[in-house]
Structure 1
Amino acid sequence: MAQNVNKIKDHVELFHQPEYKELFANKKQFEGMPTAEKVKEVAEWTKSWEYREKNFAREALTVNPAKGCQPLGALLAAVGFEGTLPFVHGSQGCVSYFRTHLTRHFKEPVSAVSSSMTENAAVFGGLSNMVDGLQNAYALYKPKMIAVCTTCMAEVIGDDLGSFIGNARVDGVIPQDLPIPFAHTPSFVGSHVNGYDHMMKSILTTLANKKDTSNGKINFMPGFETYMGNLRELKKLIAALGVDGTILSDTEMYLDSPNLGEFSMYHEGTSLEDAADSCNAKATIALQAYTTTKTLAHMKKKWKQETLVHRPWGIKATDEFLMSLSKMTGNPIPKELEIERGRAVDAMTDTQAWLHGKTSAIFGDPDTVMGVLQFMLEMGVEPVHILVHNSNDEFEEEARELLASSPYGQQATVWGYKDLWHLRSLLFTEPVDFMIGNSYGKYLERDCEIPLIRIGYPIFDRHHLHRYSTIGYGGAINLLNWIANGILDALDRKTDIAGETDISFDLVR
């Protein structure tokens, strides 16, 4: 039967068609689905404190993890360098997942290749796949650097990336002088933030050209940064203070590229020359701590560099970041930034009454959660549930210290290594006014009827949020906008029946 191309249905409408309704009904019968009454009964039980205790007692099962796997972070680190092609030593399916995951968030094509390992490679090793893959990748795409990471398959069988790459050079299939940093990034441990760190350290170690004198620059490491507006904000702040700096992994043009009518596989990024010279900088400032732990430790120990961590989320942290730059450079903070600060403070004052005393839950990556907590405590929001799946002891200690320092953080509980099914139990047994997290929280929003403010990664079901900033004074206004208007949107949904739930008819808020 011919299909009418003018009547192609969106998937939302498609699955409401009679044939799909019949398919779903047959599926329930085939699977022996319990009755609707039984499903409702069990669903209600899962909202109880009794179920919460059973839920938190589980050890061998993860339900809806709030993290990605290591190679995802490795890819993000690699694409921020000039002419760099990520190469995943593993199966085609794995690299397709990583590319798709990033593309769905940024709405930009993410280029990466794989060694296409299959069953044969799993048994006999992936040497030939690696050699052939490097040869083809270089011949077809002419990269200035190839950044290699691994997947579970390569790690389980113990492939040695260093020797494999060495064999490829000996065989003459790639130039001797082509930089090929590599990182072991097994998906069965750690998360995307660890993969980012491992790849960043490998790239900088591979390229480093140590000299006897300092170049006088300051390095800035954004970390696993998924807001391209943050890179623009960072560049603006650096320029305003007259800082001579190098951004290590500048993904802005790659992941928010203009449409100029021509396809470019490689966009602007950190030049390989600047990356090689970064070891001669006088200091490195990381904007995330837990995505750059090993890299910072290497810089401090091997490069003898001063290393600092600043997360300029909110007013106080942005003040500290700018004052630190001013002290390091001797340059004064310009009037234009004082004006920006004043606007942010004014906006926060205007909206404070709507946020003060509101309770919240938050989930996400450690550094993102810390940044959001900084801002919420400044606004008088009271965090209750802080859930970080890819947690660590240092993060939990830092989070608890921050919460203890504020009167608004006293009732907060930090839940490390827990997933979103744990968060569901928390939200049903101890409800809050709103929650903050990525798109995977939308089913918690529907189930628990608690508004979701989308901040973090990934955000698949809303467009263009990644183009905004969350850091600096401008970023503080964006955070304020998202949280306050999310609360007002939820209030409108709860007061939409005239004369019943909408008594005051409040049009001015």
Structure 2
Amino acid sequence: MPEIVKRKKALSVNPLKASSTVGAALAFLGFRRTIPMLHGSQGCTAFGKILFVRHFREPIPLQTTAIDQVSAVMGSQDLVIEGLKTLCEKNTPDMIGLPTTGLVETQGADIHMAVRAFRKVHPEFDRIPVVPVSTPDFVGSMESGYADATKAIIESLVPTAAEAGTQPGQRRRQINVLAGSHLTPGDLEHLKDLIEAFDLRPVVLPDLSDSLDGHLPETDFSPLTIGGALVSELATVGDALATLVIGASMDAPADALKARTGVPDHRFAHLMGIDAVDALISTLAELAAVPVPAKIERQRAQLQDAMLDSHFMLGMSRFAIAADPDLLVGLTQMLAGVGAETVVAVAPTNAPALERAVCDQVKIGDLEDLEIAARARGAEVLITNSHGVHTSARLGIPLLRAGFPQYDQLGGYTRTWIGYQGTRATLFELANILLTLEKGEIHPYRSRLKQWPDDERHADVKHAA
């Protein structure tokens, strides 16, 4: 168990974390015909939207209550009511997400009371679900905000077994998946393929692989999300055979889902590395009551070969990682599985999952903490998001981009990190990065007593001059 070193600085010098408000908005974007409306100033929403657009390279449907100086002091409930009314009238969404920002949380706004007031004033929109969630910027991170929004959706829209008459296992082939924020759309697409290989039907909550996977829609413009999990399917999750929970941050939503439906769940800290993927595949084979498909067995053999090929480069290598807890734990465990060492680990917030990280200590801090520690401990490769580009340049070591946001290169959101194939690709990329360092290379010896052809040419030029 690593030592958790808590934050002591009064400010973030080079911020690492994305806010919990951004995480909550991302969770709502994983549902079809949905729009998040951030309760706060226009700047709060604009900043999050910029990060989303630069990361996914897609138009992102986000709205705001746009509170001003007066409403920030006198109260902003009327703006929530007016904003919800406008969205319901103009767009008729299947769901509206209502996360808060640090401004209104500091003000003391009661977002749940505002929704109740909206329902009282406009009962004609009762059929449109509105899910409020408290996600102040100054508490938690993207990971916790994403989990809080998912939990709020479950508690608001998933009926209990008594209310809906659902029964676990009634849909023998349906598998619920609660996917953590560390999984990319590419990861989710691969995870669905693995589940479908066992003739099972995945219902992913939220499903970013269908809404933010980067595809051209048939329509020119939509003010709502153009893909994602169906809001109507939330009524069926109580009939599923089982629930897969990916990431320790999703434990609270998983507890809420199990309490409401009684569907048994299977929890995985991550899906990187051969041991973690083996656990998932064994679970799927048991749930489906079928043998593991030959294609997946071959993928496992390919990963074993990749581990053998790359162990000369990765063994005893030194990595510095900065990421949200779930991703940090997965990366450290995967690297430990191939003999690499995580000499520096930094997380933006504390979480129980960090106790599973394979390293001596985890620093709760920012990219400045990462840079100082990486320089002191001789890290060879840096792993973090695009905010770490300048840190990498100052340290003079290569960077592998992981996490959110990735805005200086294309396609980071499509990358697959999980499964046998994702792990194999990551090991090859890390090994290739280490090869560029020429670590352990023996350079040719040139005797000072022998005159080499180059020396003769330089000597002729010198003599002619």
Q: 2:425 aligns with which of 478, 489, 492?
A: 478
Q: 1:245 aligns with which of 190, 202, 216?
A: 202
Query: Which residue of 2 is the match for residue 112 of structure 1?
Result: 62
Change (3 A) 1:455 1:178: same
Q: 1:213 aligns with which of 150, 158, 167?
A: 167
Query: Which residue of 2 is the match for residue 371 of structure 1?
Result: 330
Q: Shift of residue 174 of structure 1?
A: 5.4
Query: Which residue of 1 is the match for residue 266 of structure 2?
Result: 308
**What's the TM-score once normalised by structure 2's chain length?**
0.87
SS of the equivalent of 1:262 reads coil
Change (3 A) 1:56 1:165: closer
Query: Which residue of 1 is the match for residue 296 of structure 2?
Result: 337
Q: Is the 8 A contact 1:134 1:174 kept in 2?
A: no
Q: Is the 8 A contact 1:81 1:250 kept in 2?
A: yes
Letter in 1 for 2:329: M
Query: Which residue of 2 is the match for residue 49 of structure 1?
Result: none
1:455 to 2:402 alignment: yes
Q: Is the 8 A contact 1:148 1:183 kept in 2?
A: yes
Q: Aligned residue pairs: how many?
A: 432
Letter in 1 for 2:254: L
1:90 to 2:48 alignment: no
Query: Which residue of 2 is the match for residue 129 of structure 1?
Result: 79
Change (3 A) 1:77 1:56: closer
Q: Is the 8 A contact 1:71 1:187 kept in 2?
A: yes
Which whole-Å CA distance do the structure 1 matches of 2:262 and 2:6 have between them? Answer: 44
Aligned CA RMSD, in angstroms, stands at 2.5
Query: Which residue of 2 is the match for residue 162 of structure 1?
Result: 112
Q: Shift of residue 196 of structure 1?
A: 0.7
Change (3 A) 1:496 1:176: farther
Of 81-90 and 201-210, the range deviating more from structure 2: 201-210
Letter in 1 for 2:184: Y
Q: Is the 8 A contact 1:138 1:174 kept in 2?
A: no
Q: 1:319 aligns with which of 267, 278, 287?
A: 278
Query: Which residue of 2 is the match for residue 381 of structure 1?
Result: 340
Q: Is the 8 A contact 1:151 1:187 kept in 2?
A: yes
SS of the equivalent of 2:280 reads helix
1:464 to 2:411 alignment: yes
Q: Shift of residue 299 of structure 1?
A: 2.3
Q: Shift of residue 247 of structure 1?
A: 0.7
Change (3 A) 1:58 1:204: closer
Which whole-Å CA distance do the structure 1 matches of 2:157 and 2:252 have between them? Answer: 16
SS of the equivalent of 2:248 reads coil
1:433 to 2:374 alignment: no
Change (3 A) 1:420 1:141: same
Q: Shift of residue 464 of structure 1?
A: 0.8
Q: 2:89 aligns with which of 139, 164, 180?
A: 139
Which whole-Å CA distance do the structure 1 matches of 2:429 and 2:403 have between them? Answer: 12
Of 303-312 and 189-198, the range deviating more from structure 2: 303-312
Could you give the per-residue CA deviations for residues 298-353 of structure 1, whole angstroms, max 9, x where no partner exists?
A: 22334333232222212111111010111223122111101111122222222221
Which whole-Å CA distance do the structure 2 matches of 1:460 and 1:220 have between them? Answer: 28
Which whole-Å CA distance do the structure 1 matches of 2:442 and 2:395 have between them? Answer: 18
Q: Is the 8 A contact 2:20 2:140 kept in 1?
A: yes
SS of the equivalent of 1:105 reads helix
Q: Shift of residue 275 of structure 1?
A: 1.8
Which whole-Å CA distance do the structure 2 matches of 1:467 and 1:164 have between them? Answer: 38
Of 57-66 and 281-290, the range deviating more from structure 2: 57-66
SS of the equivalent of 2:361 reads strand
SS of the equivalent of 1:246 reads strand
Change (3 A) 1:498 1:241: farther
Q: Is the 8 A contact 2:195 2:202 kept in 1?
A: yes
Letter in 1 for 2:295: E
Of 125-134 and 480-489, the range deviating more from structure 2: 480-489
Query: Which residue of 2 is the match for residue 505 of structure 1?
Result: none
Which whole-Å CA distance do the structure 2 matches of 1:251 and 1:447 have between them? Answer: 34
Could you give the per-residue CA deviations for residues 52-100 of structure 1, whole angstroms, max 9, x where no partner exists?
A: xxx9994322222321111100111001112111111111111111111
Change (3 A) 1:488 1:129: same
Query: Which residue of 1 is the match for residue 215 of structure 2?
Result: 258
Which whole-Å CA distance do the structure 1 matches of 2:51 and 2:442 have between them? Answer: 37
Letter in 1 for 2:147: D
Query: Which residue of 1 is the match for residue 355 of structure 2?
Result: 397
Structure 1 unpaired stretches of 5+: 1-54, 404-411, 501-509
Q: 1:414 aligns with which of 361, 384, 387?
A: 361
Query: Which residue of 2 is the match for residue 24 of structure 1?
Result: none
Identity in percent: 28
Higher relative contact order (CA 8 A, sep 6+): 2
Change (3 A) 1:57 1:300: closer
Change (3 A) 1:125 1:426: same
SS of the equivalent of 1:181 reads strand
Which whole-Å CA distance do the structure 2 matches of 1:453 and 1:80 have between them? Answer: 26
Could you give the per-residue CA deviations for residues 11-34 of structure 1, whole angstroms, max 9, x where no partner exists?
A: xxxxxxxxxxxxxxxxxxxxxxxx
Q: Is the 8 A contact 2:385 2:406 kept in 1?
A: yes
Letter in 1 for 2:204: I
Change (3 A) 1:498 1:164: farther
Letter in 1 for 2:187: N
Structure 2 unpaired stretches of 5+: 448-465
**What's the TM-score once normalised by structure 1's chain length?**
0.80
Q: Shift of residue 430 of structure 1?
A: 1.4
Query: Which residue of 1 is the match for residue 253 of structure 2?
Result: 295
Q: Shift of residue 498 of structure 1?
A: 13
Q: Is the 8 A contact 2:244 2:266 kept in 1?
A: yes
Query: Which residue of 2 is the match for residue 197 of structure 1?
Result: 147
